[in-house]
């Protein structure tokens, strides 16, 4: 694990990964299977991030 992630809450780490995944999705050519796959991955990470943030508020 990189030093940038050590000691940070799970929701913060997932948020960073979700933002990176979204940027990676946007770099793919529009209307291609690669873009669709990257979009699914970005959406999944965003959902995990949201769930982790909700747990932190409970």
Domain borders along the chain are 10-57
| pLDDT per position as a tens digit, 14-48 | 889 999 999 999 999 999 999 999 999 999 999 99
Question: What pLDDT, on the 0 to 100 scale, is given for residue 27?
Answer: 92
Q: What is the pLDDT of residue 43?
A: 93
The C-alpha atoms of residue 9 and residue 49 are separated, in whole angstroms, by 11
The H or E element spanning position 22 is helix 10-27
More confident residue, 6 or 27: 27
Asked whether residue 5 carries a pLDDT value surpassing 80, the answer given is: no
Say if CB 46 and CB 18 are below 8 A apart: yes
Look at residue 11 in the predicted model and tell me its pLDDT: 82
- State the pTM of this model: 0.73
């Amino acid at each position: 694990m990189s030093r940038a992630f050590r000691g940070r809450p799970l929701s913060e780490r997932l948020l960073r990964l979700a933002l990176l995944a979204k940027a990676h999705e946007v770099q793919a050519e529009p209307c291609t299977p690669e873009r669709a796959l990257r979009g699914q991955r970005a959406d999944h990470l965003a959902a995990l991030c949201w769930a982790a943030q909700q747990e932190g508020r409970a």
